[in-house]
Amino acid sequence: MKPILLTGASGALGRMLARELAAAGMTLRLTDIAAFPDAVPEGCSFIRADLNDGVTIARLAEGCAAILHFGGISVEQPFEDILGPNLRGLFHIYEAARREKARVVFASSNHTIGFHEQGQSLDLDCQFRPDGFYGLSKAYGELMGRLYWDKHGVENVNLRIGTCLPEPRDARALSTWLSYPDLARLVRACVAAERTGHAVVWGASANPASWWAKDHRDRIGWAPRDSAEVYRARLEGVLHPDEVGRRHQGGAFCVADYSRPTPPPRDAFSLE
């Protein structure tokens, strides 16, 4: 089997995926701008690289069947900080995938749609309503995948990851939580699928309170097994202290640098 390139390998999700995917028998090339903090799993190699360095990214991707793109800035930051790794870096990933005819599995985010209201049910074709520059960069990433599929035939799966932690921490996560095992199974399914085309999958476990509905999971062959519901008694009263955070699906990301005097309208194109 051809090797798999995993960017962002030194982050929390990257380290977990490196461990789980290697245990499943995948040959991984790991990369990150930061050193890998653990012992490199058997069957893996690690090379430090900057996503801004297109030449190095192209070399790392040589001969790969898929690129698991979990690299870049993963929290809200000023635009200039996000610009290089999340926008320019993504271009380098897709150019490498185009050259190698590799599939891209892109770690998108629920923050692409963060200003939709909590409780509102969303399908995969809902409007983007990013809640910050980070979410905006992930919407750009999904559109990059759309372009490269339409124009170059590069298959890609966009994972709109919710709250991916070992355990949910607040009431919002009762709707958005994605367990580590469910994410690992999802990524394995994305790599193994015979064909994906351009696909979107909501990255959430089987949470009864989920706000996210229709997606392409049947095309991928994945169904989540875990659920945040077992944590409800402990977490349902743990709410964000700010009304904007309580009202919108993006939670705290919506509150960061918020300066609007009134809440945004439910309809993105409404005057109020």
Distances (CA, A) of 201 to 41, 97, 206, 234: 28, 20, 13, 28
Active-site entry in 134, 148, 180, 231: 134
- SS3 string, the chain, reads CCCEEEECCCCHHHHHHHHHHHHCCCCEEEEECCCCCCCCCCCEEEEECCCCCHHHHHHHCCCCCEEEECCCCCCCCCHHHHHHHHHHHHHHHHHHHHHHCCEEEEEEEHHHCCCCECCCCECCCCCCCCCCHHHHHHHHHHHHHHHHHHHHCCCEEEEEECEECCCCCCCCHHHHEECHHHHHHHHHHHHHCCCCCEEEEEECCCCCCCCECCCCHHHHCCCCCCCHHHHHHHHCCCCCCCHHHHHECCCHHHHCCCCCCCCCCCCCCCCC
156-161 and 103-109: which strand pairing? parallel
Confirm whether 148 is a catalytic residue. no
User: 30 forms bridges with which residues in the sheet?
Assistant: 6, 46
User: HSE-up of 170 (CA within 13 Å, CB side)?
Assistant: 13
Please list the active-site residues: 134
